[in-house]
Amino acid sequence: MKFSLFKNDKSTYWDEIILCLMIAISVLLGTMLIVFKPSIWLISKEISVVTGVMLILFGVMFIPGTIYRFFDNNHKK
């Protein structure tokens, strides 16, 4: 299995799944950090919330690229 973010063909089917998993995991972790606001040793509640927002933005950032890959996936090569 080869991994390519720039070359889009039938053999890179798992790339879309990996991108969707990255989006789902980052949005889920970000939401959990915002809701629960954990405070561990040097990490305050504010830092947890900011990290959660950054994780959500990280996930949302990849949504247009994933949509493009789904529409532009060329299976006839």
Instruction: Report pLDDT for 13.
Output: 72
pLDDT at 16: 83
Find residue 40's DSSP bridge partners: 43
Q: Global pTM?
A: 0.77
| Residue 17 contacts residue 54 (beta carbons within 8 Å) | no
Per-residue pLDDT 10s for the chain (77 aa) are 565 656 655 666 777 888 899 999 999 999 999 999 999 889 899 999 999 999 999 999 999 988 888 887 665 55
R_g of the chain computed on alpha carbons: 16
| Rounded-to-10 torsion of CA 3, 20, 23, 9 | 40
Give CA–CA dist 17/12, Å, rounded.
10
Q: Identify the pLDDT of residue 66.
A: 87
